[in-house]
């Protein structure tokens, strides 16, 4: 089963990419991700091929530990992660490309092998639900990144300095 969703985000590629790969950002915009557990703490700050971690997600009150490994990584362009949980394995590819000036096109692709008869039968419903979830997650990512970008453009206003009586400044 292969599901691919694309969305345009009006922000610099570095900000879009960082918002997808940094665990602290993901937990701000994702509806499902509740925790990241890194095997090596340095992997939390330095994304690299071969890094492994556990991504904890919550679905309908049930917590699921997804054992994850970064398979491909090109900074500010793409990252591919293999995730495994219980009886399934999924490959997730996040890719960025310039769509127009100031707008990045994000493509998120989930690939999962359908092997059992039950998988084949249930894949029709699963495909619909997963497509909907991916679109909602990308919509939340878009809102998060565009808000971060707009806030970064606002000039910082210095705090007013209170004057006391007798001050001439």
Length of the chain: 169
Q: What is the rounded distance in angstroms from the CA atom of residue 148 to the CA atom of residue 100?
A: 20
pLDDT recorded at residue 40 = 77
Q: Please list the ranges in the chain whose pLDDT falls under 50.
A: none
Pairing verdict, β 62-74 and 88-100? unpaired
pLDDT recorded at residue 73 = 95
pTM of the model: 0.82
Paired tokens of 97: 């490309």
Angstrom CA distances, 93 to 34, 102, 123, 126, stand at 20, 22, 20, 19
pLDDT recorded at residue 117 = 64
pLDDT recorded at residue 115 = 60
pLDDT recorded at residue 151 = 92
pLDDT recorded at residue 116 = 64
Q: What is the rounded distance in angstroms from the CA atom of residue 169 to the CA atom of residue 166?
A: 9
Paired tokens of 116: 């059992």
Which of 45, 51, 48 has its CA nearest to residue 22? 45
pLDDT recorded at residue 161 = 74
Span 133-160, pLDDT tens digits: 899 999 999 999 999 999 998 877 677 7
């Amino acid at each position: 089963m292969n599901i691919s969703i694309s969305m345009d985000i009006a922000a610099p590629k570095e900000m879009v990419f960082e918002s997808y790969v940094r665990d602290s950002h993901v937990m701000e915009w994702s509806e499902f991700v509740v925790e990241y557990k890194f095997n090596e703490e340095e992997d939390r700050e330095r994304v690299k091929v071969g890094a492994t971690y556990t991504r904890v997600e919550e679905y309908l009150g049930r917590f699921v530990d997804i054992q994850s490994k970064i398979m491909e990584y090109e900074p500010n362009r793409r990252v591919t992660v293999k995730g495994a949980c219980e009886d399934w394995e999924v490959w997730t590819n996040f890719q960025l490309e310039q769509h127009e000036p100031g707008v990045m096109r994000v493509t998120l692709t989930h690939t999962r092998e359908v092997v059992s008869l039950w998988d084949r039968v249930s894949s029709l419903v699963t495909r619909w639900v997963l497509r909907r979830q991916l679109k909602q997650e990308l919509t939340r990512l878009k809102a998060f990144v565009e808000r971060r970008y707009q806030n970064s453009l606002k000039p910082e206003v210095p705090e007013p300095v209170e004057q006391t009586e007798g001050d001439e400044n």
